Structure 1
Amino acid sequence: MKKLLTLVLVTFLLLFSAFTMPAMAADIVNGEQIFSLHCAGCHINGSNIVRRGKNLKKQALKKYGMDSIEAVTSIVTNGKNNMSAYKDRLTEQQITDVAAYVLEQAEKDWR
């Protein structure tokens, strides 16, 4: 009986954790598609057609404190100055995906 109770408890904990875990890791391929559709108009190849210095290159991201998934996710979600907010157009997962794509591309120098 004790083994059965332990087995049921372990099964419950595994199922509970599987369904309450945070969102899956970012999908870079999806992030690239979202970037192409929503971001590339202003940020083609990591540039910035509105404000040249505030581009998506690694050096600029670091300089402006935008070199983390949290920072990029926040600015995509809420916008800032000339940057539009996307919280009403994209899901949280899509925003995470595009943020991960931006950081990955910055590491590759947008090549």
Structure 2
Amino acid sequence: MADDALSTTFAALADPTRRAILARLAGGEATVTELAEPFAVSLPAISKHLKVLEKAGLITRGRTAQWRPCRLEARPLGEVADWVEEYRRFWDGSFDRLAEHLRAVQEGEAR
């Protein structure tokens, strides 16, 4: 994933309303009106959030007659998870080395 695409995805995920919308869409597709229900914001505000999510590739909008369902697109989330996983492995290795060092220090003090 290109750094600019990753930045766009993280920027989209930075907002709690957008994360809540994604959580709702994880349960299945929904219309803009359905997505707006739990929020105390206007439909145009929700539409702006949806545009950010769509630009990041996190959602798609379909068209079935007059019904325009939004759907979660998991690919960018998988790419974020892969990026985070690299750093998790780094930190796990660092903590393992620290634990080994502390064990060696404790064993040296015990003697």
Q: TM-score, normalised by structure 1?
A: 0.29
Structure (1 or 2) with the larger CA radius of gyration: 2
Q: Does 1 or 2 have the higher relative contact order (CA < 8 Å, sep 6+)?
A: 1
Q: TM-score, normalised by structure 2?
A: 0.29
Bigger share in strand: 2
